[in-house]
Amino acid sequence: MPQTPNIVDTVQASQQSITAILNKIESVVLGKPKECRLALACLLAQGHLLIEDLPGMGKTTLAHVLATTLGLSYQRTQFTNDLLPADVVGFSIFDKESNRFELHKGPIFNQVVLADEINRASPKTQSALLEAMAEQQVSIDGITHELPLPFFVIATQNPLFHAGTYPLPESQLDRFMMRLSLGFPDLKAEKKILLNTAQRTNQTTRDNTAANGGVIEQEELIAMQDAVTQINVSNDVIEYIIALSHVSRRAYSSHSNVTHSTQTNTQVNDAEINCKPLSPRASKALLQAAKAMAFIDNRDYVLPDDVQAVFYVVCQHRLEMQPSQQLGASHINDNSVANQILKSVDVLNPLGHS
Amino acid sequence: MIFFNNKTKKSSSGTLGKVNVSFCLSRKNAWLLWLCQCLNIAVIALELSTWMLAIISLSLAWQALLLHNSRDRVKTRKKVSTVKHLSQRQHNHHKKQQASIVSPIILGIFALLGCIAIAITAKEVGILASMVHLLCFSYVLKAFELKARRDFYQLLLLGLFVLASSLIFRQDLVFSFITLILLVINLSVLLHFFSSEKTFASNIKVMTVILGQSAILAVVLFLVFPRLSPFWQMPRAKSAETGLSDTVKPGDIANLSRSTKLAFRADFGQQAIPNYSQLYWRAMVLEDFDGRQWTRIKAAPKNSAKASASNTFSVNLNGSDIVPLNYQITVEPSFQKYLFALAPAIASNEGNDIRAKSDYTLMSSKIITQAKSYQLSSFLSLPLALELSEHSRTVNLHYPEGSNPRLEQMALQLQHNYPEPQARAQAVLSRINQQNYSYTLQPPLLINNSLDQFFFDTQAGFCVHYASAFTFIMRASGIPARLVTGYLGGEFNGTNTGDKLSDKGHLSIYQYDAHAWSEIWVQGKGWVRVDPTGAVDPERVNSGWSNELLQQQSNLNNELFSLYQLKNIALLNILRLQFDILDYQWTKWVIGFNSKQQYNLLKHWFGKMASWKFALIIAIALVISMVMLMLFLHLLNRSKSKKKPLAKWQLVYQKSLGQLAKQGIVKPAAMTVNNFSKQVREQYPELAIVFTRLSVSYNRLCYQTLAKDEQLKLTLTMQQQYQDFCQTLKKQP
């Protein structure tokens, strides 16, 4: 392949930057290297990120540090239940002097939009993000405005059982490539957090992040994103992803079209997994995220390991029949639907050829 | 059977809990299965004894009740609580399951009792019938314990066995057709189990098409499969068949005349069919009379048999200038040994299986349990036995004196009035003709089968009455006479061109054509046939049944479509005759296709050869067809799953996995190669380096896009790594 050396070089060249970025993020979000990598992979794969956790777990910090490290313009918007769509996308206002309507751009006209506590806003406002997330453009008063590139929405949300939350509509949930959850820090990390806070009691977070500044330039980020799309994917990996999504669709397809889905070689054979089916968008996201993981891992080809690494965060929120109602349900556990699906597909022989 | 078992094993091992615990037929399937069982049993019901039928119908009713109850239960449940979710439904299923399962202890006791009953009656009904009983019994009981899919398969297979065994008893066209339809239904029930979303009718259609396709194979096997006699034999069904018996009382044949069953068929080929009144099909000669009934003499003395054998031969030699009448007879299974012929006749394929007897009857050496064909040549104009041995003269003059005094007295008087034997016979016939005798199927009851009473008082009877009375008079008056039973006439079926010589078709002789007549021995003429029935009802002898008799018969039979009605409605009669032709062809070509005909057919195809060559050809053909079948299945499977050939590195990796599995490390299917190598590293640090290398190579070969030469190099490296891996493994304690 002609671009193979090309991509290999790009991957190698980017490694330094990636290590730098990761170091930076990990120095702020302590004790969570895995989550940091996933978050970075999400942005490299040009996906939007949803971070769900209890208040005070460092959601906003992670979102913040991501935006700043990548050297992007960002704005934080606190979503509340009385927030209106116009507050997010912007509105036209009549200017007396120039005698015409002028556009007041909302916070969405930034490269990184930090939608804090997104599930506190009404569904109407949540939906205002839809067009922006899908098309990277917004329409105000019938005029379409392009958004700056690269464009990310990093949203945080509280667990749904918290007071005053609206569950995100499925259509919007589907547009987030990943849903991350940070979870409690371990002993060592927590100690470190406490020590750090003590050291800079009078420093604000703003100072902190401002001092950090960006590690890479915008152009470099775009180049990296391009490189991610060019990562090689072998047929086996594609089949693996197809097999995974077929397992989730089995409950739906078993009535009409049994031919293929029954052939996916499965361990948990006919025991039906109770889940929503994965859309082709989901499998696309899965592939893209896996590529990004491979990129971060300094590889120019995707391994099933990459797919497995991102499967939970990419797919769990699309698979759940009901949004998690319990504390910590969004943490990876062995009984989750995503893990059941993973366990049911043979890595070496995903489509059950014999 | 094996095929099915394998399948269930496979599925039950895969989905262990699911199949075993909650196997449950849908309501529709359950009812279909029940219906199918009823039909299968109905087919064989005639062969079962009454008590078994009672048990079976009881069980089926019970089964139906259970099915019905389960429906009610589900219904009420649905009413009480709206069915919300899967769990609820499963609960319902569970209930239903419980409702339709009878306690195994009760079932076991029931089964045991049934088996004991069958064993007790086994001596009475014969081994075959008791086996059929056992089969049907288990078929019905199995339905109570449908716990797994395997049971369902077993039940269906049992059903097929029941169907097949019903063919032992009857093989005519209609019955075979019914069986075929039932086969389709049985298999459709199986198909419906798997594709219940389609309608049953469409499943039947699919099944018909499939069976139609497989018919080719069936035809080929039918033609070439070797019919080796120890294996290829119908079990002998001992069945109470209608037909002639070797003892005849007056009134016996009247019962037989109610039956419209086919007795045999005669095919005269291109030859002219003799007149109706010539068609006396001889079956048995009854010479022993004890005053009540006529009996065949069991074992004739040897010397007389020899003498008569030479008689038949001399007949043939003398009659070489007479054109013989050649014809073929196809007998339906009668479960007797006697055969039919127009006497005097010789069987052209006379050999081991057909014996000509001294009284010009033919006997089969075996009981006829299957349709049997044989070729005959008859010399109708030749006399029978010009010489009468002393032994047979005494036998044929014997009568128990004083059994019918009035007849004896009359005989003496006749002897006095008519010294000439034939004139004497004529006198009796004219008496029958002139006086008020009537021919009827419903003769008045005779006390002790007294011939006196018949001849002088009731004067109404059937052929046997007249024949026995006549024979008795002849004997009493000193003329050797005997009673002959057989069939008279037959129904012509075929194209009737008007010109008798070019008629083409066959005669069908039914049980109602059964007849009895007399023979008297006249010096110089031999045995002369005298049919006293002709004196009372000439129509019977010349053209068959009179309308009056047919009417009587239909009244007696009380059937919806009696012969009388059928014969009267022209269209139906044509249909009946057409069907008879079909049935004849069926019997002739399908049922009558035995090893001899198979041999002839093969000879026709391949020319004359030694039989071992035939065996070889058939064996080779079988082997080839089996191989073809396997190949076909193999191709079918391959096209279905598009088997992907494993690459070299995949093979190598699988091999190494196998090696590790021997050591007790099994890779879970869902585990990636990298993770597995990590696991190996933890468990067997000695193997860590080699196996990790191997895994990395595998990953690269499998997932990285490599140039051809690079791939080749890496594959070689990987093989080398595999060798290293194996060696390290060997060093392991």
Minimal Cα–Cα distance from B632 to chain A, Å?
18
Please indicate whether residue B531 is annotated as part of the active site: yes
Do B641 and A354 lie within an 8 Å CB cutoff? yes
Q: What is the pLDDT of residue B3?
A: 38
Asked whether residue B221 is domain-assigned, the answer is no
Q: Tell me which of B161, B195, B229 is where a domain ends.
A: B195
Q: What is the pLDDT of residue B241?
A: 53
Q: Is the pLDDT of residue B576 over 70?
A: yes
User: Residue A305: which of B642, B644, B674 has the nearest Cβ?
Assistant: B674
- Comparing alpha-carbon positions, the chain A residue that sits nearest to B649 is A348
Instruction: For residue B672, give the nearest of A307, A126, A281, A54 by alpha carbon.
Output: A307
The model's confidence at residue B639, banded by pLDDT at 50, 70 and 90, is: low
- Asked if B700 and B662 count as a contact pair (C-beta separation under 8 A), the reply is no
Chain A residues close to B703, C-beta within 8 Å:
232, 234, 236-237, 301-304
Q: Is the pLDDT of residue A206 over 80?
A: no
Q: Which amino acid is at A133?
A: M
Interface contact B641, partner A, CB < 8 A: yes
Same domain, B49 and B129: yes
Asked whether residue B311 is domain-assigned, the answer is yes
Asked whether residue B349 is domain-assigned, the answer is yes
Q: What is the pLDDT of residue B311?
A: 47
Chain B residues close to A345, C-beta within 8 Å:
669-670
A230, A268, A269, A348: best mutation site toward chain B, by most B Cβ within 10 Å? A348
In the three-class reduction of DSSP (H, G, I as helix; E, B as strand; rest coil), residue B293 is classed as coil
Q: What's the whole-number mean pLDDT along residues A95-107?
A: 79
Sorted by sequence, the CB contacts under 8 Å of residue A23 that are 6+ apart come out as none
Q: What's the whole-number mean pLDDT along residues B670-689?
A: 81
Chain A residues close to B644, C-beta within 8 Å:
353
Q: What's the whole-number mean pLDDT along residues A89-105?
A: 79
Distance CA B46, CA B44 (A): 6
Distance CA B174, CA B579 (A): 10
Q: Which amino acid is at B304?
A: S
- Comparing alpha-carbon positions, the chain B residue that sits nearest to A238 is B703
Burial of A54 (0-12, 13-18, 19+ CB in 10 A): middle
Q: What is the pLDDT of residue B4?
A: 38
Chain A residues close to B17, C-beta within 8 Å:
271
Same domain, B191 and B336: no
Asked whether residue B188 is domain-assigned, the answer is yes
Instruction: For residue A238, give the nearest of A298, A283, A294, A292 by alpha carbon.
Output: A283
- Asked if B504 and B495 count as a contact pair (C-beta separation under 8 A), the reply is yes
Q: What is the pLDDT of residue B237?
A: 53
Residue with tokens 């598009």: B642
Same domain, B629 and B570: no
Q: Is the pLDDT of residue B179 over 90?
A: yes
Q: What is the pLDDT of residue B178?
A: 93
Asked whether residue B596 is domain-assigned, the answer is no
Q: Is the pLDDT of residue A344 over 60?
A: yes
Q: Is the pLDDT of residue B695 over 60?
A: yes
Quote the ipTM score. Answer: 0.77
User: Tens of pLDDT along B603-627?
Assistant: 777 776 666 777 787 788 888 888 9
Q: What is the pLDDT of residue B208?
A: 92
- Comparing alpha-carbon positions, the chain B residue that sits nearest to A270 is B15
Minimal Cα–Cα distance from B116 to chain A, Å?
44
Do A303 and B642 lie within an 8 Å CB cutoff? no
Extract the tokens encoding B188: 């459709």
Same domain, B424 and B552: yes
Q: Which amino acid is at A173?
A: L
Selecting among B267, B452, B513, B531, the annotated active-site residue is B531
Q: What's the whole-number mean pLDDT along residues B577-588?
A: 81
Selecting among B515, B537, B580, B583, the annotated active-site residue is B515
Distance CA B109, CA B116 (A): 11
Interface contact B649, partner A, CB < 8 A: no
Asked whether residue B100 is domain-assigned, the answer is yes
CB pairs under 8 A between A and B: 72
Q: Is the pLDDT of residue B157 over 90?
A: yes
Ranked by mean pLDDT, which of B513-527, B558-572, B700-714 comes out on top? B513-527
Question: Across all residues in chain B, what is the average pLDDT?
Answer: 77
The model's confidence at residue B37, banded by pLDDT at 50, 70 and 90, is: very high
- Comparing alpha-carbon positions, the chain B residue that sits nearest to A309 is B672
Helix or strand (DSSP H, E) at A139:
strand A137-140
Helix or strand (DSSP H, E) at A90:
strand A90-95
Which has the higher per-residue pLDDT, B151 or B254?
Answer: B151
User: Residue A267: which of B669, B675, B700 has the nearest Cβ?
Assistant: B669
Selecting among B24, B36, B136, B463, the annotated active-site residue is B463
Q: Which long-range contacts (CB under 8 A, 24 or more apart) does B425-428 make?
A: B425/B470, B425/B474, B425/B479, B425/B520, B425/B530, B428/B470, B428/B473, B428/B474, B428/B532
B window 597-636, beta carbon within 8 A of A: none
Segment among A283-297, B512-526, B718-732 with least mean pLDDT: B718-732
In the three-class reduction of DSSP (H, G, I as helix; E, B as strand; rest coil), residue A334 is classed as coil
The model's confidence at residue A231, banded by pLDDT at 50, 70 and 90, is: confident
Minimal Cα–Cα distance from B233 to chain A, Å?
44
Q: Which amino acid is at B630?
A: M
Q: What is the pLDDT of residue B77?
A: 52
3-state secondary structure A172-194: HHHHEEEEECCCCCCHHHHHHHH
| CATH of the domain spanning A4-229 | 3.40.50.300
- Look at chain B and report how many structural domains it folds into: 4
**Rounded to 5 degrees, what are φ and ψ at B386?**
-70, -30
Same domain, B470 and B351: yes
Residue with tokens 């490189």: A227
Asked whether residue B343 is domain-assigned, the answer is yes
Topology adopted by domain A235-343: Helicase, Ruva Protein; domain 3 (1.10.8)
B641, B674, B703, B711: best mutation site toward chain A, by most A Cβ within 10 Å? B703
Domains of chain A, by residue range, sit at: 4-229, 235-343
Q: Which domain holds residue B272?
A: 247-585
Interface of A with B (CB under 8 A): 1, 4, 232, 234, 236-237, 255, 263, 265, 267, 269-271, 300-305, 308, 342-349, 352-354
Same domain, B558 and B707: no
User: Tens of pLDDT along A253-275?
Assistant: 654 444 444 444 444 444 566 77
Chain B residues close to A344, C-beta within 8 Å:
670
Asked whether residue B392 is domain-assigned, the answer is yes
Extract the tokens encoding B367: 């009981």
Interface contact B662, partner A, CB < 8 A: no
Q: What is the pLDDT of residue B163?
A: 92
